[in-house]
Structure 1
Amino acid sequence: MPTTPSPTPPATCTYGIAPLAPYASDPRQSRGRRIPEPVPPTRTDFQRDRDRIVHSSAFRRLVYKTQVFLNHEGDMFRTRLTHSLEVAQVARSIARPLGLNEDLVETISLAHDLGHTPFGHAGQDALNECMKAFGGFEHNLQSLRVVDLLEQRYAAFDGLNLSFESREGILKHCSAANARRIEAQDPNGIAARFLNGQSPSLEAQLCNLADSIAYNCHDVDDGVRSGLLTVEQLQASTLFREHHQALVRQHPGLRDDPQRWLYETIRHMLSVQIYDVIEHSRALLAQHQPASADAARTLPPLIRFSDTAQQQARELKSLLYRELYRHDKVVRTTTLAQQVIRELFHAYLEQPERMKPSYARRVRPGSNPTETARTVADFIAGMTDRYALREHEKLTGYRIMKTT
């Protein structure tokens, strides 16, 4: 990893529109949709998938869902929507020089958090706890439920009827129990790889890594902006320290504008990680030479950091957990948010008719308790932060935290 403040692209990096490599996902060779549809005349299947996601209700709701800081705590903090856009930007920056399918990586990036609950990971943990007796809650599996079932926009099918490759990338994690259940319903489908020990497409691998890169860098920005994280604390991160100190030396005139030092540091951190992934992945692809997208699935993950970059990313993530995510102020707020999720869940479980009508109709007299609980989880997971708080106040009669 370079220590200069001006990371340079790999010498072999190409710019402009690159042709697809043999190992890239080719929409003309897609494994198709669950319900066959004619190929659109002016778009590929992956472009159509992306467009369906952008026009979905779940995608629009991401603008009011927490990333780290609750949505009402400040207008400048990241939300699930801005995070998804940043993941897409990072993923496309890496996909092009590697010859991967940019449309597919954008599709997966924009859809990967569609199933996330309000209040970020705190909300997810609380809902998983509530659903423990009913099969649990996994936000990646919920994202799949959104695109396969919960979006109600088309006359011919529930969900968005996305292509196999897009759905495969959305389901980036899955428990063995859920994988077996999905496989029983859809043999040799998107869950088979979890049971067979195979890798997803290279585009899906890239999106998983881009998610981590974007997460670390924008949480540094939001953490400092919030006042809960200091530049001095960040010096414990090798990745941050090397670039920040070099920039301070190069631009001493910015001493009265430390925010610009911070922005420049984050920009360089992003660039150097992107270039590392390009170079290291290119070397692995040259070594293994997968002849097709399916051949790449039989190999270990090939879109990866170098060992040094991986260690530095983990070091930064550990620092963020220690100094930001577990900060007393964040914990106090997320504890209240978890209380909102738990009280909503139990209230709707006891009185499902109080849910939105489209969800309440799914609960009929004598319904299976697990199906009822899953419907409640679907309703809560689809809420925005502010909607959840309003519903909680309406159900309980008291306001647990302020909203804007």
Structure 2
Amino acid sequence: MDDLYDEAARERLVPEPPKRVDAPIRTAFERDRARVVHAAASRRLAAKTQVVGPQSDDFVRNRLTHSLEVAQVARDLSRALGSQPDIAETAALAHDLGHPPFGHNGERVLAEVGEACGGFEGNAQTLRLLTRLEAKTDGAGLNLTRATLDACTKYPWPRTDAHSVKFGVYADDRPVFDWMRTGAPGERQCLEAQVMDLADDVAYSVHDVEDGVVADRVDLTSFDTAAVWQTVRDWYLPHAGDDALDATLADLRAVGSWPATPYDGSRRSLAALKNLTSDLIGRFCGAVQHATLAAADGPLVRHAADLVVPQRTRLEIAVLKGIAAHYVMRTDDRVALMERQRELLAELVAELLERGPDALDRPFADDWGAAADDAGRLRVVLDQVASLTDQSAVARHAALTGRA
């Protein structure tokens, strides 16, 4: 399948000399994967929030374990479709690298306080990490191939009036973005990015429910469908009707491993829950694989084809996401915690802006010195804060403000 990817797909922003003759023989895309695996930003994902905080329980997922699971789903689906699985897997491993402390909650804060420098978006931050902030090749970050960078770009467009919330590149990263998108048709995701995007949806729809069940927040045998359906509409599918959602839930409950009794913490119950997650992932990916192959009229690589996700699959994923959102993210204790997290990050940004380079880690202090104006210095502070884990953000805030 590598022969389906041309020299432009393998090109790196900064040309690299040939590897030593005694070095292991690897493809360009295998090298990309290794660079992301060994990146410092990848290690930090272990201490960043998924849904339940990473320190709250040994079982629940953090951003790193979630990324590994997304990578497995993406690799398997990519291989089944005949595209390059190393590209899809690398994109999945990288997809959350730009998330700041406290996940999407922290992302919203940084977007607000960063308005003067063009805002903040986790996916745009991922591109910035891969092409600038991670230390591998001077001036080019990890210096990944064009095809891999493109696959890592969930939102292949800049911030505009039409794309004010979700976007994939900041203004000062446009040169590398434009190089990466050479030959791409408009704002269309490449096929490998579509695989990564779906794998992310599949993994967190299933695994967030699993974590909610184990945390005793979700009971799959009995829940308030009216309230969950409203959450589905509020967060995911605004126009989904009750009848369609009721029918979708009936289809999910017909899956043989859907529980008939509440989770009780026993090994048998945990094994049954694991079987359910496996069955659901197979159900979703199988439906997409069959629909995509049936619609394909050419190679399933880059911009030559699109992933086809059946409407039934979209609804089933949305129902699971709605269950987790209603019983985990919308609970009173979670809402109160998220408010405290937002206050902490806003105060941390303000303190770092006030204190300047003396309060920044060395790489960001150097960036501060090179910044041309206040907007550039604000971007540096956002880079610093986004690099922190949940716990290190709390510790940095306490050190700077004197408040626990």
**TM-score range, shorter-chain basis?**
0.7 to 0.9
Give the aligned partner of residue 280 of structure 2: 269
Give the aligned partner of residue 205 of structure 2: 216
Of 230-239 and 206-215, the range deviating more from structure 2: 230-239
* Alignment check: 8 A CA contact 2:96 2:123 kept: yes
Give the aligned partner of residue 220 of structure 2: 231
Instruction: Summarize the alignment of residues 27-46 of structure 1 with structure 2, pairs less than 5 Å apart.
Output: 30-38=9-17, 40=19, 42-46=25-29
Deviation at 1:198, TM superposition (A): 4.5
Deviation at 1:95, TM superposition (A): 1.3
Give the aligned partner of residue 387 of structure 1: 392
Give the aligned partner of residue 179 of structure 2: 189
Instruction: Return the match for 2:127 from 140, 144, 150.
Output: 144
Output the CA distance in 2 between the equivalents of 1:161 and 1:102.
19
Output the CA distance in 2 between the equivalents of 1:365 and 1:28.
35
Would you say 1:242 and 2:254 are equivalent positions?
yes
Output the CA distance in 1 between the equivalents of 2:287 and 2:256.
18
* Alignment check: 8 A CA contact 2:118 2:170 kept: no
Q: Deviations over 1:49-88 (max 9, x none)?
A: 1111111111111111111112221222111110110001
Q: Secondary structure at the match of 1:50?
A: helix
Q: Deviations over 1:108-152 (max 9, x none)?
A: 111111111111111111111111222100111100111111112
Q: Deviations over 1:207-260 (max 9, x none)?
A: 1100100011110111112222222346854464222676649xxxx9994333
- Say what the alpha-carbon RMSD is for the aligned residues: 2.8
Q: Secondary structure at the match of 1:364?
A: helix
Give the aligned partner of residue 66 of structure 1: 49
Which amino acid letter does the alignment assign opposite residue 169 of structure 1?
A
Deviation at 1:332, TM superposition (A): 1.7
Output the CA distance in 2 between the equivalents of 1:274 and 1:338.
36
Output the CA distance in 1 between the equivalents of 2:372 and 2:172.
22
Q: Deviations over 1:273-328 (max 9, x none)?
A: 1111111111121xxx13574651xx6xx213212111221222233222222111
Give the aligned partner of residue 298 of structure 2: 290
Instruction: Summarize the alignment of residues 5-404 of structure 1 with structure 2, pairs less than 5 Å apart.
Output: 20=1, 26=5, 30-38=9-17, 40=19, 42-154=25-137, 156-173=138-155, 174-177=157-160, 181=171, 185-186=175-176, 188-191=178-181, 197-233=186-222, 236=225, 237-238=249-250, 240-243=252-255, 248=260, 257-285=268-296, 289-290=297-298, 293=301, 296=304, 302-352=306-356, 353-364=358-369, 367-399=372-404
Deviation at 1:390, TM superposition (A): 0.7
* Alignment check: 8 A CA contact 1:77 1:222 kept: yes
Deviation at 1:27, TM superposition (A): 6.2
Give the aligned partner of residue 4 of structure 1: none
Distance 1:283 1:157, change over 3 A: same
Distance 1:329 1:243, change over 3 A: farther
Output the CA distance in 2 between the equivalents of 1:181 and 1:238.
47
Q: Secondary structure at the match of 2:180?
A: coil
Deviation at 1:157, TM superposition (A): 4.0
Deviation at 1:262, TM superposition (A): 2.2
Output the CA distance in 1 between the equivalents of 2:272 and 2:302.
44
Deviation at 1:199, TM superposition (A): 2.4
Which amino acid letter does the alignment assign opposite residue 52 of structure 1?
R
Q: Secondary structure at the match of 1:363?
A: helix
Output the CA distance in 2 between the equivalents of 1:245 and 1:364.
58
Distance 1:318 1:197, change over 3 A: farther
Distance 1:77 1:295, change over 3 A: closer
Any stretches of 5+ residues in structure 1 without a counterpart?
1-19, 400-404
Output the CA distance in 1 between the equivalents of 2:27 and 2:44.
26
Q: Which has the higher contact order (CA 8 A, sep 6+)?
A: 1
Q: Secondary structure at the match of 1:71?
A: coil
Which amino acid letter does the alignment assign opposite residue 213 of structure 1?
V
Q: Secondary structure at the match of 1:243?
A: coil
Name the TM-score, length of structure 2 as normaliser: 0.82
Deviation at 1:181, TM superposition (A): 3.9
Output the CA distance in 2 between the equivalents of 1:314 and 1:349.
40
| Aligned length, in residue pairs | 365
Name the TM-score, length of structure 1 as normaliser: 0.82
Distance 1:93 1:125, change over 3 A: same
Output the CA distance in 2 between the equivalents of 1:261 and 1:184.
48
